[in-house]
Each structure stands twice: as structure tokens, then as C-alpha cells.
Amino acid sequence: THMEQQELVAALRRVVADGGWQRVGRTADFQSTCTKLFSEDGQHLVLIRTGEDSFRAMDSSCPHEGGPLELGDIEDLGDGRLVLLCPWHHFDFCVQTGSSSTGLQNQVYEVRVVQGDVYVNTPNQLSLSPDAEPDTAGPGESSPDVAEICPSEDTLSFWATKILRTPDPTEKVRLTLEVQDKWRSGQIKEVGRAAPPAQPSRRDDLTVLQPGRIKRGKGGTQASRVALLHSLANIEQWAIDLSWDVIARFSGFSLSSGEPLPRQFFSDFVKVAGDEAKHYDLLERRITELGSFFGALPVHNGLWQSATDTSHDLLARLAIVHMVHEARGLDVHPQTLSRFAAQGDRDSVEVLEIIYRDEITHVAAGLRWFTHICSQEGRDCLSTFHELVKQHFKGYLKPPFNTEGRRTAGMTEEWYVPLVKPSS
Ligand code: FES
Ligand SMILES: [Fe+2]
Ligand SMILES: [Fe+2]
């Protein structure tokens, strides 16, 4: 048609003008709702099919904690607006503007369809296959020295491993609180050594998300609050395991001086584990009060990736899990809170406030031990942190930051501002 011709001309003009438009394929290549487009600069995109011939595009890495948006669901809000829901914590991103009701903003890109060809406006080379990506998922180095150790029952590492292998979250919580007690009272004295499992155990009746569905929106109803609390409970379940994993996995860690980690390190992470257990419990109770139960909704299973990626390197573990992910939790707290407050859900607000206060101390613990180890090893804290994040965390850190919450945790701006994408 005439319109299409004009569009083609316009698109071609722009290609010439700024070199930004590029053809990524034919419309027929993009049958699924979401397709990941791999970018040469590592900031991959997700192409979202919103109709026969209409597409949208945004960064595929969720601005919250880097969740895979290409595995998300599309929700139709009913007023013609479509949002992409992140599979990790259900944050919504308007496919048109990239804005989220949580206050976060995702980068969107213009998309044009001209005579069956799909064009995206970005200066970075895009492709449908990840061949440019380094293969990080290779077999990890095994540590035979640890695997052969048979842990004795009265050590912290034995219990850490046992809890990691406990699939039922309620039992996981119970054991965590019991071990925290025994460690504090001195009934468990030794850290010991143990080989944690590669992945913690999970109840096998939990349904895992089937990505790419388009469903009806439920707006600000109770159901959507339950969905958010449910995904937060799921995160807390993983957080319990992350705490026990750092204890068991690095139980035999020694500094370059040959010295082991101080006992306080283990006490701090036992405290973190206990907090996470309490958080799971609070959220699970709240979900039940709201007429649902944990396991009623599908959950995402990709939350162990950062643990696997950093299983060989304690500094990287502290940096990614506690100083990137947990700090991100502080950033989104105000918006999450106001969502519940706006609907008059005071009981949930109270739970979220308790969790928030504890999470500040978790970021602080990560930062304290990161700094301690760096200074023991004569490394510069800031540049080491920046290097590790670039290496292990895909993509830049994105504002908004909860400057005050981060500062309370000891994390001043020089830690994270240099990791924000330079504005172009
Ligand atoms: S990572 Fe996307 S909502 Fe948390
Ligand atoms: Fe927590
Ligand atoms: Fe935490």
C-alpha cells in the first residue's frame, strides 16, 4: 500500500541518517510472544509481539534484579495497555513506554514493520543467536578436597548442608531457627567443613512458570497483592538457602595469608539465615490470611543462577548476592510499600517494613565482609567491586536507587554510581 511505501522510505531514510535502524528478521520469524534479541554490547533486548504486525522492544534484563523478561507473561490491563510481567518478582513494565507501577523504568526501543521485515532502532548489532556470548555455563571446577570430607553432625556446615537438602520450606524454616539457636547458645561450636549440593532441594509439587502467556489483568486487586507476596515468599525461600550455601561452601575458605575466616563471619550469616527464615514465615502467614497458600501460584526457578556463577569466589558472592541483589531489594521497597499502602493493606505493610529493616543489615553484612577481605588481601575495595560486578552481573545497574537505605547499610554512592550506564 501507499502507507507502507511511505514507511519504507521513511525507515530507509533513517537508516541512512543515523545508522540506528536495523532489520532483525521477518515477522514470521517471531511467532512467539517474546523473542530475545542478542546485542553485541551485552544489553540484550526482548521483542514482544503485540499483534499480527505490531511489535515492541525493551531491554530483556529486568531493571529490578536482572530477571529474564523474555520469559515473562504479558498482561492486558483492559484499557488497551499491555504490560510485560517479570517472571522473577512480577514487576510490570508497560510494553509501550517501559514504565512500571513500581516506579522502575525499562529502556524501550522503536520497532517498525515494513513489508514483512522487522526493524529495531538501536545502534548495537542484534542477532537471534547468542553466539557472541561467552559460555559461562560450562562445568564448574569440582573441588574434590571438599567432596571427600564427611561432615560430623555437630558442625555448622553439616546443618547448613542438611537445610539446603530440605525441600519443604516450613521444615527449612524450622531447622534454620533451631540451628541459629544452637549456634548462639554454643551447642554447635565448630564450623566444620561440608560440600553443599549444587542446587538446594525444592518441593516437587511447586509449578514452575510457563512463560509467554497473555492473560487478563487483575489491576490492583487482592489477587495481585497475593501474587506479589507469593513471589516475595519464594525469594525468601531462596534467600535462606543462599545464606546456608555461603556458610557451607566457604567453610574452608582461607585468606591469602592462610588464615581462615573469623568466626564472626559465620555468626553474621547464621543471623542472615535466621532473618530470611523469619521473612518467609511472615509472608507465608500473610498469604494464608489472604486466603491463599504458598505453592498456590507458579514460581520462578532461576534464582540460583547467581549462586552458581559465584560458587568459586567469595568476594564475587558477597558482591553479587548481597551488594547488588539485596541492595536492589532496598531500592524497590518504597514503591512496593506504597502499592500495599494505597490499598489499605496495613498488615502486609507491617510485614514489608520488618523485612526492609533486616535487609539493610544484610547489605551491611555483605559490604562489611567484602571490605574486610579486600583489606586483608591488600586489594582496593571499590575497584574490586566494580570489576566483579561487570564480570558476573549481566548489564548495568539501573536507577532509581534508594540512596538513604543504601547509605544506612554503609553503601555510599561511589560503590554503585560508576556501574550505571553512561547516558548517551
Ligand atoms: S528481577 Fe524482575 S521483578 Fe525482580
Ligand atoms: Fe529476606
Ligand atoms: Fe536478605
Name, in order, each residue with C-beta under 8 angstroms of 203's C-beta and a sequence gap of 6 or more. 167, 168, 169, 295
Atom of ligand 1 nearest to the CA of 69: 2
* 82-85: strand order across its sheet: 92-94, 82-85, 73-76, 214-216
Nearest CA to ligand 1 atom 3: 89
Ligand 1 in reach of 328 Cβ (< 6 A): no
Residue 138 lies in a domain: no
Residue 65 lies in a domain: yes
Residue 97 lies in a domain: yes
pLDDT of residue 19: 65
Q: Do 275 and 221 share a structural domain?
A: yes
Q: Do 149 and 80 share a structural domain?
A: no
Q: Do 214 and 71 share a structural domain?
A: no
Q: Cell 515473562 maps to which residue?
A: 72
pLDDT of residue 141: 40
Residue 424 lies in a domain: no
Instruction: Please identify every stretch of the chain with a pLDDT value under 70, giving residue numbers as ranges.
Output: 11-19, 131-152, 207-220, 300-302, 424
Q: Do 283 and 248 share a structural domain?
A: yes
Residue 121 lies in a domain: yes
Q: Do 396 and 324 share a structural domain?
A: yes
Q: Do 372 and 240 share a structural domain?
A: yes
CA 171 to chain centre: 24
Residue 79 lies in a domain: yes
DSSP per-residue codes, 386-421? HHHHHHHS-S-B-S---HHHHHHTT--HHHHGGGBP
Q: Do 231 and 102 share a structural domain?
A: no
pLDDT digits (tens, 9 = 90+) for 92-141: 899 999 998 877 889 999 999 988 899 999 888 898 887 644 444 444 44
Q: Do 368 and 236 share a structural domain?
A: yes
Ligand 3 centre to CA of 28 (Å) is 44
Q: Do 171 and 258 share a structural domain?
A: yes
Q: Do 86 and 167 share a structural domain?
A: no
Residue 375 lies in a domain: yes
Ligand 1 in reach of 85 Cβ (< 6 A): no
Q: Which range marks the domain in which residue 120 is found?
A: 2-127
Residue 133 lies in a domain: no
Q: pTM of the full predicted structure?
A: 0.76
The structural domain count of the chain equals 2
Atom of ligand 1 nearest to the CA of 62: 2
Ligand 2 centre to CA of 56 (Å) is 34
Contact 250, 143 (CB under 8 A): no
Q: Considering 74, 92, 127, which residue would you say is the last residue of a domain?
A: 127
Return residues with CB closer than 5 A to ligand 3 (ion): 359, 362
Q: Do 335 and 365 share a structural domain?
A: yes
Q: Do 363 and 264 share a structural domain?
A: yes
pLDDT digits (tens, 9 = 90+) for 209-242: 555 555 655 446 788 888 889 989 999 999 999 9
